Amino acid sequence: MIHRILAWLVVFLHFSFVIFALFGGLLVLHWRWLYWIQIPAAIWGTVVALCDWNCPLTRMENSLRRAAGVDEYTGGFVQRYLLPASSGGELIKGGKFMLGAAVAVVNLAVYAFVWHMS
C-alpha cells in the first residue's frame, strides 16, 4: 500500500515539475531570485521532451508501481498522463516535441519580458 501511495506522490511531483518548467517563469515576475531554479527546470523539461528522453521520475514511479504489484507502463510521463488527456486517448504524433517547444517558447517570451522590464 505504501508503494502505491509513494507512486502517486511521484506522479504529483512530476506533474508539478512539468507545470513549473512550463509556467514557472511567470513566478519570476514577482520573485526575481527564482530564476536560479526555474531556468534549469525549463532547460531540463525542454531537453527531455525534445530528445524524447524518459525522466528519472518516470523510472522512480515505475519502480514503485512494480513494488506495489501494479503494472508498469511504457513510454514517458507525458505520454501516460498528459497527451492522452488532450487527445481522447490517442497520442498526438509529435505531441511531446510540441510540449518541449512550448516550454522553450513560453519561457523565452517570459524572460524577454522580465529582461525588458528590468
- Residue 56 structural domain: 2-117
86-109 tens-digit pLDDT:
555 445 556 778 888 888 999 999
Structural domains in the chain (count)? 1
Burial of residue 85 (CB within 10 Å: 0-12, 13-18, 19+) is: exposed
Residues in the chain: 118
pTM, two decimals, is: 0.82
Backbone phi, then psi, for 40, in 5-degree steps? Answer: -60, -35
41-95 tens-digit pLDDT:
999 999 988 887 888 999 999 999 999 999 888 777 777 777 665 555 445 556 7
**Quick one: pLDDT at residue 85?**
54
2-20 tens-digit pLDDT:
999 999 999 999 999 999 9
